[in-house]
Amino acid sequence: MKKQLLLISVGLAVLCVAVAGQDAKSSDKNAGEQATEQKEANQTHSYSGMYTFLKEGEFVQVTVEDEGHVTGFVSRYGDGESDKGAFLDQFFKTGKLDGNKLAFTTEIVHGVWFEFKGTVERGEGKNPGDEAYFVLKGTLTENSTDVNKKVTSHLREVVLKIFPEDAGPIPEPRK
């Protein structure tokens, strides 16, 4: 009887060690997955910033929020007869980041709106905070509507470079 109890005790001890080892491996795996997810989340948030736009002095502000939601705006000079040379801000109507795929559409201002579809990629900047450390690369569509409500679209391939960090403050994400 004592031998049987001893064997059962030893068997339970071995079983406990085996289960604990499995839990540790599972825990290590979960910790590794969590670290990867955290690194990816930090990476996508670091895409936030001010990027060049079409002309000197124009820019697009991109703010990556939780779950790939993107807010921001385009600040540009007006091209129309009524707004020629005026500085216009066009806030994002929609914005989404999925991995490194970025898409946004601006609100309509003076009959003009923009759509961007592309990627966020590493640029020629050497260190985080350097100019062009990240670039937005893709297709920018400028849409305009005339007095007869006819829409004209102009597509162009663009590479928009992030400004260096010391170029100005980056707004906090909206809640």
- Give yes or no for a contact between 128 and 46, defined as CB atoms under 8 angstroms apart: yes
pLDDT of residue 30: 62
pLDDT of residue 165: 84
Read off the pTM.
0.71
* CATH number assigned to the domain covering 48-167: 2.40.128.30
User: What are the Cα distances from residue 75, in Å, to 43, 52, 62, 91, 141?
Assistant: 25, 10, 11, 9, 16
Tens-binned pLDDT, residue by residue, of the chain (175 aa): 554 444 444 444 444 444 455 554 445 556 555 554 454 445 566 899 999 999 999 999 999 998 899 999 999 999 888 788 889 999 999 999 999 999 999 999 999 999 999 999 999 999 999 999 999 999 999 999 988 999 999 999 999 999 998 655 445 555 5
pLDDT of residue 173: 54
The Cα 108–Cα 80 span in angstroms is 13
3-state secondary structure 35-104: HHHHHHHHHHHCCCEEEECCCCCCEEEEEECHHHEEEEEEEEEECCCCCECCEEEEEEEEEEEECCEEEE
pLDDT of residue 43: 57
The Cα 175–Cα 172 span in angstroms is 9
Q: Report the alpha-carbon angle 164-166-169, nearest 5.
A: 105
pLDDT of residue 60: 98
pLDDT of residue 164: 92
pLDDT of residue 79: 85
pLDDT of residue 44: 60
Tokens of 3: 């031998």
